[in-house]
Amino acid sequence: MKKVIMIKIPGCPYCANARKAISFLKEEERYRDVEVEEIDETTQPELAAPYGKDYYYVPSLFIGGKKYFEAKPGMDYDTIEKAVKDVFEEALKA
């Protein structure tokens, strides 16, 4: 299983939806052990820097340095939840 990196910023409604989706999905046995590391772009710029050239919007989700999801303005919760689920599925691949 691979670790998911989530780049976020405080007060971002899309980040809040991604965190809600992560919590919801982790209630399922299949996704319970998926590790998600959250990096706050504003307080941890040194950790976010390696990903900076690969995203513009947050949240952005990466596995092994590759971007698998980047939220866009106007995305609703259901769209974000589906995207997070797809990223979790990718993380489960050996």
Parallel, antiparallel, or unpaired for β 36-40 and 4-8? Answer: parallel
- Output the pLDDT for position 81: 98
Average pLDDT over residues 72-88: 98
Residue-range domains of the chain with CATH: 4-92 (3.40.30.10)
Percent of the chain having pLDDT more than 70?
99
pLDDT digits (tens, 9 = 90+) for 15-28: 999 999 999 999 99
pLDDT grade for 87, boundaries at 50, 70 and 90: very high
CA nearest to 1, candidates 83, 67, 69, 90: 90
pLDDT at 88: 98
pLDDT higher than 90, residue 94: no
Q: What's the burial of 74, exposed, middle or buried (CB within 10 Å: 0-12/13-18/19+)?
A: exposed
Specify the pLDDT at position 20. Answer: 98
> What pLDDT, on a 0 to 100 scale, did the predictor assign at position 22?
98
- Measured between alpha carbons, how far is 43 from 24 in angstroms, rounded to an integer? 26
